[in-house]
Amino acid sequence: MRNTGALGMIVVSLLLGIAAVVVAGKWLNERANLQASTIVVAAHDINVGTRLTPDLLKTIDWPSGSIPSGSFNDIKLLDSRVVKINLYRGEPLLEGKLAPEGTAGGLSGVIADGKRAITVRVNDVVGVAGFALPGSQVDILVNIKDHQNPISKIVLEQILVLAVEQDLGRDEIKPKVVNAVTLEVTPEQAEKLDLARSVGTLSLVLRNQIDRGLGATDGVRTEELLGTKVATTNTNPEAKENVVYKPVDTPMPLVEIIRGLQVESIRDFKKPAHNK
């Protein structure tokens, strides 16, 4: 009898335990549902500059206590908005990741406030062998081929590459050789860049994404590069020939005529009448 009573108590305890687990699980599920909210996330990977449509978005449940600031709970609120960064599948849509309302899709929706976009032609070398991709940071180097004193100098630093040709995608890592690069600049930088490309040849200098240091220099000239001095000539067309009469103690009168860097010696030279 004692064994039967003990066994009955064990069975009752197991049943009560199972019932407690079921009730607790139902309570936790109901409480989780009460504390969950709905937010809009990307249904697919979305490239920068894309105009949003309902098929690109979906709603999911999200814990109320950890909803990101600036999120949306209705897909209709995002109709025709433009994303200004790449979004990945399942990533919440936030106001900070979107261009202002009314912005057209494409490049214009990616340009930051107060900035401008300017396109410069490049080749496979000037374009950092195809490694200057959208989202890269570059410096702009200009080479001025002055026949008297050529110079090469960095004129702009920390310039964002918005697009390569017509491609805005920023998720590629493979080099892409292109013929044109679109850069994001301020109005003042746009003026400098336009002048630089009109007076010399432009090159892109790829820089580290997290490097914010400035490397302003005075540029380098030919004589500094080669360690030599470049002779300069008198370019004034009205300047008269520099004639120096230098007497030399020789048996016959000797006159040296200096024209620029050339020296000519003449014996029995008669001075011009105007130098008397």
CB atoms within 10 A of CB 82: 21
pTM: 0.56
Is residue 8 assigned to a domain?
A: yes
Q: For residue 126, is it within any domain?
A: yes
User: Do 260 and 216 share a domain, yes or no?
Assistant: no
Q: Examine residue 158 and state whether it is found in any structural domain, yes or no.
A: yes
**Separation between Cα atoms, residue 50 and residue 62, nearest integer Å:** 25
Question: Model confidence at 257, in pLDDT bands (50, 70, 90)?
Answer: low
Instruction: Please check the confidence at residue 252 and state whether its pLDDT lies above 90.
Output: no
Convert the pLDDT of each residue in 183-237 to its tens digit.
999 999 999 999 988 888 888 888 877 777 777 677 877 777 777 655 444 555 5
27 has a pLDDT exceeding 60: yes
CA distance 88 to 50: 13
pLDDT at site 102: 76
What local confidence, expressed as pLDDT, does residue 237 receive?
52
Is position 231 within any domain?
A: no
**Does a structural domain hold residue 194?**
yes
* CB-count exposure of residue 213 (10 Å: 0-12, 13-18, 19+): exposed
Check whether residue 144 and residue 86 sit in a common domain.
no
The CATH number for 58's domain is: 3.90.1210.10
Q: Is residue 53 part of a domain?
A: yes
The answer to whether residues 131 and 220 belong to one domain is: yes
**Are residues 41 and 27 part of one domain?**
no
Give pLDDT, residue 103. 75
pLDDT at 111 over 70: yes
Last residue of a domain, one of 108, 130, 151: 108
Q: What is the pLDDT of residue 262?
A: 62
d(CA 230, CA 107): 47
Report the pLDDT value the prediction gives residue 245, as an integer from 0 to 100.
47
Query: Would the pLDDT of 272 be above 70?
Result: no
Q: What is the pLDDT, as a whole number, of residue 146?
A: 73
Answer yes or no: do 91 and 185 share one domain: no
Band of the pLDDT at 173, cuts 50, 70, 90?
A: low
Over residues 112-130, the mean pLDDT reads 75
Mean local confidence (pLDDT), 63-84: 88
Answer whether residue 216 is part of any domain.
yes
Domain that holds residue 10: 2-31
Ranked by mean pLDDT, the top range of 63-77, 164-178, 218-232 is: 63-77
Domain presence at residue 147: yes
Asked whether 265 and 255 are in contact (CB, 8 A), the reply is yes
How is residue 1 written in tokens?
């009898």
What average pLDDT does range 45-49 have in this prediction? 85
CA 193 from centre of chain: 14
Name the domain count of the chain. Answer: 4
| 161: β partners | 183
Q: In the predicted model, what is the mean pLDDT of residues 228-257?
A: 52
Residues 221 and 144 in one domain: yes
Q: Are residues 124 and 216 in the same domain?
A: yes
Judgement on whether residues 68 and 132 belong to the same structural domain of the protein: no
Q: Which of 108, 128, 145 is the last residue of a domain?
A: 108
SS (H, E, C) the chain: CHHHHHHHHHHHHHHHHHHHHHHHHHHHHHHHHHHEEEEEEECCCECCCCECCHHHEEEEEEEHHHCCCCECCCHHHHCCCEECCCECCCCECEHHHECCCCCCCCHHHCCCCCCEEEEEECCCCCCHHHCCCCCCEEEEEEEECCCCCCEEEEEEEEEEEEEECCECCCCCCCCCCCCEEEEEECHHHHHHHHHHHHHCEEEEEECCCCCCCCCCCCCEEHHHHHCCCCCCCCCCCCCCCCCCCCCCCCCCCEEEEEECCEEEEEECCCCCHHHC
26 and 60 share one domain: no
Alpha carbons 272 and 264: distance in angstroms, whole number: 16
> Span 112-118, mean pLDDT?
89
* Same structural domain, 41 and 25: no
Q: Identify whether residues 96 and 181 lie together within a single domain.
A: no
Average pLDDT, the chain: 76
User: Same domain, yes or no, for 133 and 167?
Assistant: yes
Which pLDDT value is given to residue 144? Answer: 87
Domain endpoint, select from 226, 251, 268: 226
- The backbone torsions φ and ψ at residue 82, rounded to the nearest 5 degrees and listed phi first, read -115, 130
